[in-house]
Structure 1
Amino acid sequence: MDNAYVTTPFGRRAMSLGMLASQQLAETIEPGITRNKWKLFRAICEARPALGVTDRALTVLDALLTFYPSDEISEERGLIVFPSNAQLSIRARGMTAATLRRHLAVLVDAGLILRKDSANGKRYARRGRAGEVEEAFGFSLAPLLARATEIEALAAQAIADREHLRITRERLTICRRDIAKLIAAAVDEGVRGEWEQISLMFRAMIERLTRAPVIEHLVSALDEMSLLREEIVNQLETNTKTQEMNSNESQIDRHIQNSNPESTYELEPGFETKQGAKSADRIGRPSEPIAEGNEISNSAGDAGAGEGRTKRTKGPVGEGGALKSFPLGLVLQACPEISEYGPAGQIGNWRDLMVAAVVVRSMLGVSPSAYEAACVAMGPENAATVMACILERGGHINSAGGYLRDLTRRTANGEFAIGPMLMSLVRANSSVGRSVC
């Protein structure tokens, strides 16, 4: 084999342990292994930072490879190239002799080529009678063949890292654009929130990025900005849901009598009578006083039948009969947990309660269609009251949506009253309060 022995450099160049290690590695070439020299050279270019070589040194290596007689590097064809300095300089784009020597030393130190110097330092080949090369002195390409698998792995890793860097940069750019435009939209639309503080936080994240950040810094910045974008989107979605809820309330108000949330009637302490004797029997208080402002009239048909049915001119009317609207204070006494979901963490009127009910509906997984059906059947105030009760008894209800639909069906059939549910919760909260005291 051409590289089956240790050789030391000619002249004043010193031998090093690194050169010895490279020569030993060159002896470990697997039998029959071959590589296309230009594909291998491309892999070396990709892995250049990991191999510790410069672009000018790769220019010299490119020139050396042109002197190899075949495109396939193999041990059978020989691994020594022996160009003169003049020819090597021409193929290295006119590089000077001093520069050539410097970059050849870089290739040797990187373990990509080996020197096989003759006795006088000249590069040449000794041929036999048949013209075949018996012995050559110059530069050995054996390390390229011995390290081919390692070089290809380094190249693949370099390509993957570069792609990861590109994708991370793209995602960071998109995230920065999203945050900037979402903040601008929130400010233009007058959405409530600490947008000035969020803008300062966003600007601080951008200022921490350097002009040429490494992948670790980019990944960290992307994680921070992604969390900020998610927070901004959540705030905007909450605002959008609130607006949609207010729009839905306005639509329901056109079909239900006297659903004005600010009316003094809704805050009266008295209870309404329900439509029909069956409803009065369910409440169990047929002689309960009627709230002020409620007008009662007997229809002619009811009078003829002797039933004396009552008809409310105020309060929500459902498809299967009206439910009583209870005072807001009683509802909050029975269901104190609902206050935490109101605007600014408190409930001051029926509109605040209905806003909180929409938030709770989404939190408990109740579908919009189920809640809208409850509003139609019970009235928006009573539907919000039922949602407050479901929240208060959340630990005892497996499916809030199914429970609400069942109550809606029972309301339409005249089989449900809110009063007993509220009174039970009032007693439960009162007993808890006494036990704590």
Structure 2
Amino acid sequence: MRSFLRESQRPVVFQPVYIGYERIMEGDSYIGELSGKPKEKESWFALLRALGKLRENYGQVAVNFGEPIFLTPLLDGVDANWREATTDPEAKPAWLKPAVDALSERIVVNINRAVDVNPINLLALVLLSTPKHAMAESDLLAQIDLTRSMITALPYSDRLTITNLSAAEIIAYGEKMQAIVRIKHPLGDVLASEGKAAVLLSYFRNNVLHVVATAAWIACCFLNNRSMKREQILRLGRVVYPFVQAELFLPWGEEEFAARCEATIDFFVARGLLKTDAQRESVQRDPGQSDGAFQLRVIAQMLLQTIERYYIAIAALVRNGPNTLTSAELENLCTLTAQRLSLLHELNAPEFFDKALFRGFIQKLRERRVIWTDAEGKLEFHAELESIVRDAKIILSREIRHGILKLTPERRSVLAAESDAASSSTN
């Protein structure tokens, strides 16, 4: 950016590139870093070990080019007077940070728009949305077919690409790549992802989660509701969208997201997963034991952990009250709660308790003036937070909400536990 300011007559273009893998070499490092372990230093031993891994099958790599970003128009949009800035390398004009933030966000958004959805991505989206990361083969075939059709009928962008393999071919490819295993059974085979392989699949799910975020949100609305008004679905969507948008770098404004929600509801109605009345005001799903309800539940699970994470942060704030927690203390409480929840409820996804994700959510609450810092650095919050808690009751089941509230600690109990741990270590 500063180099461009010195010679702004020479155009600068940033070219976003999406690189899609079907298997990653440094899987153990990925798991460790997501779980909070420090990044390991490079060594000759690690290099030799990596050379041995090169003989393994890593599948195909897709390279898609996103929409280029021209720096001059971007700066014009941030501050029309940017050309008057000094070329002093130590100077920091007021528009510089907003420009850097806008550029970095645009790069990631455009990378996401150039996404390639490969067979491993589809398997990860579906299997990780089941309690034991396993499905009957017939159910898996149907769910992959639905997910592919959904992505194709509701394209995320005109640069998105998706595998041409059929559902059966995708399963066979997943077995070949050792992403899933087949468990033989007289009543029908089961496909599963087990142990470390299931954790590694989270990488491939997370890379394409943004593609199905809208559909997953609509499905979340019917986890605990047989019927909802369209207006209520769109209202709740407007509440949650800014936070999901910030986390997944979604490209739409709020009205565009609402239009996409409408199109997604229509897709589900066309597929028979939802029904609507003649006035298109009310939307219903079939009973919980039906195939349609099961398929909706799998789609909802793709985003549910994200919504649960938001509720953890809000629950921690409300339980401790205003003017009690600093941002750092809130992050710590959220991380501890999520870690404990994952231990108790088979949430085998290290990113569920990633402190950076909680930090991003808290920052978004600040930006929207739902929370702010008092003179002593403690967090205060707006009455809007209570309305978000009420809305959460519509989406999250009583069991999930009760589990989170029960596990969310108060600041003083955490401080006491840390003090006891410190005393024990010194004795």
Shorter-chain TM range is under 0.3
Could you say which structure has the greater relative contact order, defined with CA pairs below 8 angstroms and 6 or more residues apart? 2
TM-score, normalised with respect to structure 1: 0.27
Q: Is the radius of gyration larger for structure 1 or structure 2?
A: 1
Structure having the higher strand fraction is 2
